[in-house]
Structure 1
């Protein structure tokens, strides 16, 4: 039984495709250094369906460890390189749709006995099974060696596929064809001597068969027994009774040889059918060995460690790294990846992760999921150490997107995915919740985020990483004993911000959203306006100790109690009758009255 990886998890973790729909950079593109196509396919299937049974992962880890001793994986990869796709060839053989050159490629792969010598001998059960399955079926190999030429034609209908010595009838028919050239040269020499035509030629083409060609200038010398077959601009083509008899014999032999070859090839496919299961096991062993060597190479090249599996529920990672982001930084020269620890267990099943935008919350959450996934499929992991308890599923709710085709808004899609997680997650699941509740009004979103967090903590009790910008949720651990606050840090220097990408205990102090907007290239006027608006909102919030609801209706205007002194003075002014001097005096009077009312 495999660990449950819903489609949203595969997409959000970018296992085989990026969020933009590209094939790279993904976890699969980073891992896939396999030498064969069947190895790459098997690696992808391991990645998308990691087993829950830890014994399977332990066997794979043991095999990887054995391959790393003495760098055995290097020798094996060199010998695996260029191996044909035995898996697909065997599938086509089972359907009797395999081509001659594919069978030759299969024969070559079955002769790679040097692979057996390079596989380490030891107690690892997986390597022992691979060694057993890599014993090629001797009878199938003997059939392929006896039946096929070294370099056969691409298609059986073209002939030239079956090796000589397999069938006496085919050899006889081929002998007639092989003697054809000698007969034509002899006939040409005899006819030149008989007719005295020095440039007479005996030739053959697929349209007109065999013919004797004579130039127009020599046509008068043509004997009476020549029969005209074709007239050209500068030559005439003839046939003689002797050449006609040979043509009938040669063409008949060619057709019969092609039919005989086709029948022999079909017989060969039938004789190979009983060996298909063993050939399938051979292909699986090759693919498994290829994947294990690729994982051993990745571990050595990228500095990964072997995980440890335990029975108690826990996810303990020391100096964990996001494998794809780390490789991307190394490739682009973007600096070193900042590793982070993760400790989830019975006393801390949920982390409330806060911190600035661009600070690394999503990267941290995804790296935990990827390390759990890699360990579960039997690979080494990007960390200093890793202890992992039972895991039955990895659920994610990350990002904002519409599903317009199914009439789902961003928020509706967000809630649908959250509902799916709340219904299906268990105590052994890993749940990633990133910015839940941001698609609706402030208080609605906060209430929903708090309710979802409480359900995951109290009812589901799954291992949960809960990233949020709702600072009110940093109070959540105070009333929930298995939740802890964590934050990614940043420092501010004037108007600049430096993201440290380092996870630390406790809640974050702020989000630095305006600084991120400035880094993204938002016009400075907009940034300045946002700074003033934020200052006003924070001042108002500190005065009322309540978060401003941006979607609340405007406050009602105070009830009218009759005209005040400002209104009365304003009503007495006739703008059309005022001189400039009188208008200025009136304005000063109104200003004074307004100031007196404000003071009261």
Structure 2
């Protein structure tokens, strides 16, 4: 027979079958049955058992409630949902304690800052694919509930491009898509958490007139947004009021950076090791605040296209560079600002603690100092930062300062967080507690006098309350009205009627104090949330300033220059004088990096770049793309000078990789990515191609590469850097005026013993390379001398197009059996 508590547990659990139920029992969250078996393995905690009735036991495990966040974080990182079931009635009342689920934490709805990467958003996405008037529509909505960022729109490009960029922690789908294996296969590489949301359709009716989405014209995008808002409401069990603005996924203001470019250019992590160190962001990120770090990431994913917008940021960076005192001052203030966005979200979602209010107070005070520092600034972007930090946030600062103590406890329900003078009733109750200390001291003195027991003590602890402690050697002196309460090894503890009355008075006062302070705490949160819009504006302004200040610090440290941005209606131009790779130059000793210039224009639209392996071809083409990207996010660039026409997209096809899970070979992936470029690039795009065609036979590869260059030259007219070992492509410059040949210079010399030696000069010069020097590179890599010598002989034969029949002893034979 099941106990009443287990009946209650099973009743609640049936509504949360797809989540691990954290069931509050006193100071612990307990898990039972399959939940316990799963959690014990993931969390590495002991699996025990509990009686279910006569001769039956069920698996169980538990975690302390005060340390639950770290355990929840482990479970969500392992892709589990966690339903938090709290006690909602007084456990001291008779009968079973009432319980209900107050929140469901999923990988995409985590708000605990210790479980999140401060430098990036934690997105949850909703996807919809439907047919409307014989047209297939793909809509996407994604949100970071921990910051309040919210995006939506219809997509007119490959879904994988944006999913790869935003990396959603969780994706919810309508049932018809979740049950479509082909669609699931197409997106499963972008999130480990795909869910069918059974109430998808229901929430369209609930939210279609919500202020966030009522003006959204796309019905598919609106449906996505309504479903996502509904899912958030279902999991958080409270209104999501900190989401105050909707941003369009596609905007004419921004260029696009797809997942291939992000990977190939090593924007956020290195291609092979997957490390942040060695990536572009490891160099660019000089931010001091979490808001700044996330703003930088957003800038990179959304490069600006309009000269006016880019110049606005660049001018702000320039002003900070020129005004060193201002830069130092704002950098110092920024270093003391906390994560305002995530603290505000926790207040809204009712998961905050008093320290979140204190961090908001400190941070808003810092924001006002920043406002004061920027009053005399001239650049539009710094004026905007100053303008967006409103004076009225001082009211929030004053409120929190007046009500809460400087260092409040973590829990808001245990008292000790409200200042004196805030509430008369509260002060009166606290006075009773203070009088209690005096009462106990007087009682101890009087009892010692009355009994003659000099070692007598009057004390309190949380388990036994108030007591009088007498050592065993003095028990014969204990008065008859003392009531025995506890026996120790060397002493006995007693109470008296007078002490019991005082205990009841004090404990009642403490309970009333805790309750009153919690009410005051909630009222402070309610008042702070009235300023949500202003607090969010200040947080965004701080993120913007932090990013620009980081650019200024970086530009001074690395001697970057301000790029000259050209109008889009002028002849298209990328003219970089002595450009440097922003990452590689930081990884080698100063002055060792060899800078290179590049000019792409209407007359010089495509550069065919040849040269040996390891000579710097890939570095050169990548640094060009990175310099353009840096310019378009508003950062100074590593070059002596740069004139740049903003691009609408940066396309890359670099490196070789299989997608084995999809059954795609290296060459198939290469062709798919190249097809995406040829089908979507425009005359305002920048295209970076490295060794395209090498994944198949030589003749096939040359033919494909040739045709690709022709198509780019004749049809697309995108500015293109094409690094290749196919020297046959050099002839294209004779056919097309907008194709030019460049090579990475190499110095050849003969050693005294007649060996040919090469030195890489890492300098890009006009003209085509006549050799690839692959064998020399192989020698540098440590191939055995026999292999190197044999390869040189084979190369000579191939170049002479000779046919010879080998001897049986291959090692002694210098001929090759290939008919060319």
The interval holding the TM-score normalised by the smaller chain is 0.7 to 0.9
Summarize deviations over 1:215-252 as a string: whole Å, max 9, x none. 11211211111111111222111110100000000111
Q: Are 1:316 and 2:575 matched, yes or no?
A: yes
Q: Are 1:526 and 2:780 matched, yes or no?
A: no
Quick check: 2:370–2:386 contact (8 Å CA) kept in 1?
A: no
Corresponding residue of 1:201: 457
Higher share of residues assigned strand: 2
Greater shift after overlay, 252-261 or 89-98? 89-98
Corresponding residue of 1:155: 411
Q: Partner of 1:213: helix, strand, or coil?
A: strand
Structure 1 residues 378 and 541, CA gap change in structure 2 (3 angstroms): farther
Q: Partner of 1:490: helix, strand, or coil?
A: strand
Greater shift after overlay, 383-392 or 202-211? 383-392
Shift of 1:82: 2.0
Corresponding residue of 1:65: 318
Q: Are 1:327 and 2:327 matched, yes or no?
A: no
C-alpha distance in 2 between matches for 1:475 and 1:503: 19
Q: Partner of 2:742: helix, strand, or coil?
A: strand
Corresponding residue of 2:669: 413
Higher share of residues assigned helix: 1
Alignment of 1:45-444 (within 5 A): 45-71=298-324, 72-112=326-366, 113-119=368-374, 121-136=376-391, 137-311=393-567, 312=570, 313-330=572-589, 335-444=591-700
Q: Partner of 2:269: helix, strand, or coil?
A: coil
Shift of 1:94: 2.6
C-alpha distance in 2 between matches for 1:105 and 1:461: 53
Summarize deviations over 1:242-276 as a string: whole Å, max 9, x none. 00000000111111111111111111111111101
Quick check: 2:630–2:637 contact (8 Å CA) kept in 1?
A: yes
Quick check: 1:93–1:276 contact (8 Å CA) kept in 2?
A: no
Q: Which has the higher contact order (CA 8 A, sep 6+)?
A: 1
Greater shift after overlay, 164-173 or 515-524? 164-173
Alignment of 1:395-544 (within 5 A): 395-494=651-750, 495-540=756-801
Quick check: 1:96–1:269 contact (8 Å CA) kept in 2?
A: no
Structure 1 residues 66 and 219, CA gap change in structure 2 (3 angstroms): same
C-alpha distance in 2 between matches for 1:164 and 1:122: 42
C-alpha distance in 2 between matches for 1:82 and 1:465: 44
The normalised TM-score by structure 2 is 0.65
Summarize deviations over 1:266-306 as a string: whole Å, max 9, x none. 11111111101101111111121111111011111111111
C-alpha distance in 2 between matches for 1:390 and 1:10: 18
Q: Partner of 1:242: helix, strand, or coil?
A: helix
Shift of 1:356: 1.0
Quick check: 1:429–1:462 contact (8 Å CA) kept in 2?
A: yes
C-alpha distance in 2 between matches for 1:366 and 1:480: 24
Quick check: 1:489–1:501 contact (8 Å CA) kept in 2?
A: yes
For the aligned residues, what is the CA RMSD?
A: 1.8
Quick check: 2:307–2:566 contact (8 Å CA) kept in 1?
A: no
Larger radius of gyration, structure 1 or 2? Answer: 1
Shift of 1:120: 6.0
Quick check: 1:307–1:387 contact (8 Å CA) kept in 2?
A: yes
Corresponding residue of 1:41: 294
Q: Partner of 1:106: helix, strand, or coil?
A: helix
C-alpha distance in 1 between matches for 2:802 and 2:295: 56
Shift of 1:149: 0.6
Shift of 1:123: 3.4
| Alignment equivalent of 2:264, drawn from 12, 24, 29 | 12
C-alpha distance in 2 between matches for 1:410 and 1:6: 19
Quick check: 1:4–1:392 contact (8 Å CA) kept in 2?
A: yes
Which ranges in structure 2 are unaligned for 5 or more consecutive residues? Answer: 1-250, 751-755, 804-816
Which ranges in structure 1 are unaligned for 5 or more consecutive residues? Answer: 543-552, 557-600
C-alpha distance in 1 between matches for 2:375 and 2:530: 30
Quick check: 1:66–1:120 contact (8 Å CA) kept in 2?
A: no
The normalised TM-score by structure 1 is 0.88
Greater shift after overlay, 110-119 or 433-442? 110-119
Q: Give the length in aligned residue pairs.
A: 544
Summarize deviations over 1:521-578 as a string: whole Å, max 9, x none. 1111100110000011011189xxxxxxxxxx9769xxxxxxxxxxxxxxxxxxxxxx
